[in-house]
Each structure stands twice: as structure tokens, then as C-alpha cells.
Amino acid sequence: MVKIYFLLLTTLILFSCERDEEDYTIFKYYGSASEDIGFSVAIANDGYLICGQMTEIVKTEVGNEYLKRLAVIKTGFDGNRIWKQTFGDTLTAVGSKIIILEDGSVVCSGYAIDPITEEKDIYIVKMNSDGTNADGKVYKTPGNQTSSDILKTSQGFLVLGTTDTKSLQGTDATGNIEGNTDILLLRLDNSLDLTAAPIAVGYPGNDIGVSLRPDLKGGFIIAGTTDNSASGLSGSNIFVVQTNQDCNSRQSVILGGTDNEYAADLEVVNDGYLISGTVISQASGKESVYVLKISDDNLYEPPLFNITIPSVNSRTVNAMNRFKNNYFVLAGQEGTSTTSEMFFILIDQEGNPVEGKEYVTGGTGVQVANDVVSDSEGNVIAVGKNTYESNSMITLLKFRF
């Protein structure tokens, strides 16, 4: 009897070890022609949703025409494609951010290019959870507008974009000339119709918003990058804008140093805001992971911390997402513009790297992670692109640290 118990215990231990060493990694590619890129991923109750751009080949009398479409792909948890929808008709279109609503329906924001004026306009599509009953709207305004983020609100949606139209914000010192970029905010109802005139926010020079979140005061918080430098700063810097519920600016601040800092993403924590990005050394040109935290009480106070995470190779950050309760996973690329791999690093709420929680993967060519999410089981799911020679494919990576 003792031998039987011993054998059973040994079997259970071995089985447990085998489960702990199980490889959860999934790597999938989608696309077939020219330039296919994944820019955003979201977790549904039965799989993943990806948005980005896919190239469609249309045969004409004079040869093949390559048309870039806003693409939405639904996969299972195994990464196998369930359905694909492309949008844009005769327009070149790109999807930049995808969200899933409480009823399971899907909304993707991006931009489309007018074939006559060649100007960019914000483009948003909405569809059922199975990809049917899709509806899309183009928001045409003078100049070029693109979208980087979209948020569900109690009134409908709030879209974060960028515009290069002339901005008259009070005086020449606070306005912006035509061709320079400002943040653009679009307020929409649930039918994707505008509920108010678009709001442009920014500094003289070029400002690009990357991430939009509800703040801790009932309004919204936006992170981005500006080439406008405050006193004592230089080059590109991270900036933060806090608005009220009506999107009127309450506070705005430029953060950075003598190097070039670029914002990638923003997360709300219980006492402030965590911002991730990339810092490029003015002296060496090396790119490194950059994390800072600011207080919610007063944006003008010095950051609670700002950390540059050292690494052997150059690293750029493109996205950040909460990992379980008290950690955050950062995603981007490691290497150069001609040869790079996807990289991921786990940090705590104080911006410190978690020991042993780095992951770098890739192959021949250029591998980039553009967006990342995680689930309650500890899976990290990222989308990006795999470029080899002149072609790229959408990539979906799923792994555990």
C-alpha cells in the first residue's frame, strides 16, 4: 500500500512539473501581400480582435493594384483566424485602435485617405461581435486628421486624434500655424455622430497624442509627445493634458530633460498616472525604455519618479498594459530599424523592472510589437508586424513570462 501511495505521489509531482513547464507560446501571421501591420489588439470573451491595415490585390486591365484597407481580424484563443473584415472601399484606410463594448460589439478607429485631395480623415467603424452589420463613418475636415485612441464614455465615444489645421488658441504664443500638429478630440454619440465641434489642444509646434484615459477627477487624461520645450528642456518631450468632462483643458505640462523623450502609453494608478515611452540619448543616439509617474493632485509638481531602464541593445516602447494587479507589461522592439525583435519587460508600480521578467523574440528581418494586453491567467498577447525585405505580415504573439 505504501508503494502505491508513493507511486501516486510521484506521478502527481511529475505531472505538476510537466504542467509548469508547458509552453503557452503562440505565434501567428496574417496577410499575404505588400504591407500588412497590426496596430491594436483586444480580448473578447471567446478570442482576440486585431485591427490594423491589410493590403488587397485588385486585378485591373493594366495589372495588379495594391489597396491598403482598414482590417479587423477575429481569432480564437489559439490565434486561428475566425473571420476577417476590411473597410475603406476605394479609400486607403488604416485601423489604429480597437475596443470591445459591453454588448460584445466592436469599434475600431483609424484614418482614411481621400483619393482626390490625398488628405487624411478620421475613420471609425462599428460592427457586431461576429463582424456583421458593420457601419463606418469618415469625419472630413480641412487638413489632415488621424486617430490614435478611442474611449467609450457615458455619452458615446471620445476619440483622440491629431490635426494639422491652423489653430487659433488665444494668441500667437498659444496657437499653431497650418501644417503643425495639435491634439484633436472628437465627441461622438453611440451612433458615431458628432455631438460637438472638434477640440484642438496643444502647444506651438508639433504635438501628437498617443493615449487617452478617464482621469481620477471625472474628466480625461492624455499623454503625447511635443517638440515644444519648456524652460530647461530640449528636443522632444512628453506632455500631459488633463481635461474636464466637456474636454476643456484644466492642466497641461511638458515633462522631460535634455535628451529626447517620446510617450508611448498611459495607465491610471490609484494616486496618479504612469507613462511609458522611449528616451533617446542626445550624446549616443541610443534608445532606452523610459517610465515616469506624475501625481493626480498637481501636474505641475515634479514627477514622482522618472526612470531610464538600461539595456545592452537599443529598445523602443510602443505600448503598455496592466499585468495582473500591481504590474505593467511594456512592449516594443529591440534592435535597429533594419533588424529588430519584439521585446517585452515587466515593471512594478514604481517603474522598477521585475527580475527575470523580460522576453525577446523574433526572426529574420524586422519584428515589432505595436500593442499589448494581458489576461487574468498571466498570458501576454501582442500584435505588430514581421517585415522581411519589402513585405510585412500582421503578427499575433501569445506567451507567458
Each domain of the chain, given as residue ranges in start order, spans: 26-399
- The closest of 222, 251, 249, 250 to 238, measured between CA atoms, is 222
What span, in angstroms and rounded, lies between the C-alpha atoms of 268 and 278?
A: 19
Share of the chain above pLDDT 70, in %: 92
User: What are the tens digits of pLDDT across the range 61-72?
Assistant: 777 777 899 999
- In this structure, the number of other CB atoms found within 10 A of the CB of residue 83 comes to 11
User: What are the tens digits of pLDDT across the range 259-281?
Assistant: 999 999 999 999 999 999 999 99
Check pLDDT > 70 for residue 16. Answer: no
Which CATH number is associated with domain 26-399?
2.130.10.10
Tell me what the pLDDT averaged over the chain comes to.
89
Higher per-residue confidence, 19 vs 32: 32
Q: What is the mean pLDDT of residues 173-181?
A: 74
Check pLDDT > 50 for residue 324. Answer: yes
Higher per-residue confidence, 29 vs 174: 29
Q: What pLDDT, on a 0 to 100 scale, did the predictor assign at position 66?
A: 78
**How many Cα neighbours within 13 Å face the side chain of 367?**
19
**32: CB partners within 8 A, 6+ apart:** 393
Q: Are 26 and 19 in contact (CB under 8 A)?
A: no
Q: What is the mean pLDDT of residues 195-208?
A: 91
Q: What pLDDT, on a 0 to 100 scale, did the predictor assign at position 64?
A: 75
Q: What is the mean pLDDT of residues 292-305?
A: 93
**318: CB partners within 8 A, 6+ apart:** 264, 265, 331, 332, 333, 368, 369, 370, 371, 384
Q: How confident is the model at residue 21 (pLDDT cuts 50, 70, 90)?
A: low
What span, in angstroms and rounded, lies between the C-alpha atoms of 64 and 284?
A: 44
Check pLDDT > 90 for residue 74. Answer: yes
Check pLDDT > 90 for residue 231. Answer: no
DSSP string, 24-42: --EEEEE--SSB-EEEEEE
Higher per-residue confidence, 13 vs 45: 45
Q: What pLDDT, on a 0 to 100 scale, did the predictor assign at position 174?
A: 55
Check pLDDT > 70 for residue 18. Answer: no
DSSP string, 176-195: B-TTS-EEEEEEE-TTS-B-
Q: What pLDDT, on a 0 to 100 scale, did the predictor assign at position 385?
A: 95
Q: What pLDDT, on a 0 to 100 scale, did the predictor assign at position 5?
A: 34
Q: Are 225 and 237 in contact (CB under 8 A)?
A: yes
Q: What is the mean pLDDT of residues 222-237?
A: 86
DSSP state for residue 154 in the 8-state scheme? S
User: What are the tens digits of pLDDT across the range 94-107?
Assistant: 999 999 999 999 99
Q: What pLDDT, on a 0 to 100 scale, did the predictor assign at position 210?
A: 97
What span, in angstroms and rounded, lies between the C-alpha atoms of 195 and 157?
A: 10
Q: Are 211 and 149 in contact (CB under 8 A)?
A: yes
Cβ burial of 109 (10 Å; 0-12, 13-18, 19+) is buried
Check pLDDT > 80 for residue 357. Answer: yes
What span, in angstroms and rounded, lies between the C-alpha atoms of 299 and 238?
A: 13
Cβ burial of 47 (10 Å; 0-12, 13-18, 19+) is middle
Check pLDDT > 60 for residue 178. Answer: yes
Range of lowest pLDDT (152-161, 262-271, 295-304): 295-304
What span, in angstroms and rounded, lies between the C-alpha atoms of 84 and 195?
A: 31
What span, in angstroms and rounded, lies between the C-alpha atoms of 332 and 310?
A: 15
Query: To 10 degrees, the CA torsion angle through 220, 221, 227, 232?
Result: 130
Check pLDDT > 90 for residue 350. Answer: yes
pTM over 0.75: yes
